[in-house]
Chains A and B, each alone.
Chain A
């Protein structure tokens, strides 16, 4: 390192300057390359070894969309309106989800059901997915497990109206294969007269 000289006469800072001729950076580059090189070679070697699929877990990257990341069951994805055993909607339009929703994106219109034991059900149930924050409050508020946050999350749409999910979409979209039966009905809770 060369001698130190002050920047200007009356300043107190001292600056260290490299000697002339010692500032070409090649060794620095090689030093850096060794790290990426070893990583690259090891990955390449692992990838070749895993071609047969034996050591698949060694490769952290996921080949989306062929491979999909496995989310936990508590994952809060798109909403699902569950159904009863006979396929009718489990939801009785009690509006608790709409009340509990912080984003106020659920709008329900209830109407009379001819079967007196059912009495009330939603004729329209809309969720504005663009405003939904996927917090799961509706799922917590629902007394009869009529709405759940399902595992799906990749649902693109082209224009705004495709993000207004209506009853059919929420309960009977093809991915649900005819509707998910609500826990309430599986346990035959109503038979016990409670």
Chain B
């Protein structure tokens, strides 16, 4: 059973009073719960949030499944989201993503690689088309101006860093 940590609970409680209605706090609480649950939102997370926030669970699940940044399946330590829309698509975002997936050992999109390090998704426009092709790791600032070697090197660096600690 998933339980929010001490500060997590305090954070959610403060969010509930921050906006005009408590429903508005669902998104940030889901972000917090997702971070504390290892990067994905599952059934227990939603039922726990529903109790804590006193909002019908169906409404929270609606929000959790509507937005793309809440993962419905477990993700690796580094969830690499490669942008593949329009400009990035033209500049080779899709080929880059496939090459990096092979390098990282993930067969399908959304799978966690054997060593639990990587999960890949092809996401829609991230709003940085001048630096195409580019990607975002988890919810950190963007990694931009990539090409094939930089992409594969990035996978190797991340794997090394991931094993480090």
Contact, chains A and B (beta carbon distance below 8 A): no
Q: Hey, which bits of chain B sit against chain A, CB under 8 A?
A: none
